[in-house]
């Protein structure tokens, strides 16, 4: 079996993820807002978790799992979350991504 780097595998997953999910800026914004709401309901603390930071949190989750037992999936996902965070920070705004995504859903 040929070697495939976890970074390349993570990038491939991110490239293919939009077939089943919204663009990272849309998907991670929704998840970040949900987490913000849960923190508000539980702790009474109103914070605005941003989409790029949600990618950091998910990478952290996978890092904790990796620390508890090494699995390739964890390392691949860490790279994938880093790529999603980069796309969020350098790609289209939430508003532009929503317009494009909704247009593509209707086609």
What residues does each domain of the chain span? Answer: 6-15+22-99
Full-model pTM:
0.86
- CA 73 vs CA 6, 19, 43, 59: distances in Å: 8, 20, 32, 12
Q: What is the mean pLDDT of residues 5-30?
A: 85
Return the pLDDT at 105: 82
Question: For 57-83, what is the mean pLDDT?
Answer: 95
Question: Where is mean pLDDT largest: 10-14, 17-21, 32-36, 69-73?
Answer: 32-36
| Predicted local confidence at residue 2, as pLDDT | 64
Mean pLDDT of the chain: 92
């Amino acid at each position: 079996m040929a070697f495939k780097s976890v970074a390349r595998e993570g990038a491939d997953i991110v490239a293919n993820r939009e077939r089943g999910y919204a663009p990272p800026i849309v998907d991670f914004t929704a998840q970040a807002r949900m987490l913000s709401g849960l923190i508000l309901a539980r702790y009474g603390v109103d914070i605005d978790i941003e989409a790029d930071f949600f990618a950091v949190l998910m990478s952290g989750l996978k890092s904790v799992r990796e620390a508890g037992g090494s699995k390739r999936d964890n390392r691949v996902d860490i790279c994938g979350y880093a790529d999603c965070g980069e796309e969020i920070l350098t790609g289209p705004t939430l508003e532009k991504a929503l317009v494009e995504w909704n247009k593509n859903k209707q086609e």
